[in-house]
Structure 1
């Protein structure tokens, strides 16, 4: 559809607003991988409840919105092994980079963080190379 870019614009605006509110309220960067990682590895401490609510919102809000605006079309591969492998690689990559798209890309770049900008350039390049390798060369997705 021609107006699909509007959904991306709205989503980007919401993510940016959420990042700003999270920073103003908590004094910390809204990096989803760090929030989830702290719950998984037990380092969240007193913030575990807050982080679990954040994670619940990541799942609940799209589900709730899908009842009102419908489910979007996706190009997700039916290859479950590829989806699981990709998820694991993303998890490893966020640990190596000490952050993810929300921490480095959204919050880091908006704060003019050199580390965030460099990390964003590298994970965008890695994503592009992964598409070339796994889709166009190997044909697994």
Structure 2
């Protein structure tokens, strides 16, 4: 058997096997592209190596785009979309300022954590509502 045929078969199988070890549906589609090139080289001998590589690149790109368009969007949505977005979970909460807002910055205690806040200058103890998040900075206004 020819080296190019064996090489594409091995690459296809390695990519598919790698997908089982590190799932993410990325290498699987590249493995399918390698298998397609393997089949083409097996059926039509004499395809130049550069054309084989170009076909693999194009087929990989096309197969990944097909996955992204038709298969990936079918992923179910989380019942807790803010689970790992702790700062955004605080939007809408009302609490008194722990530290006065001076020059636009202060501090608030929500749950067991202290948060830096931005907003209009207000004295300590004033109830404020979290209205937005900028990274780990909470934007507040007087409640």
Q: TM-score higher than 0.5 here?
A: no
**How does the TM-score come out when normalised to structure 1?**
0.26
The higher radius of gyration belongs to 2
Kindly indicate whether structure 1 or structure 2 has the higher relative contact order, using CA contacts under 8 Å at least 6 residues apart: 1
TM-score, normalised to structure 2, is 0.26
- Richer in helix (by share): 1
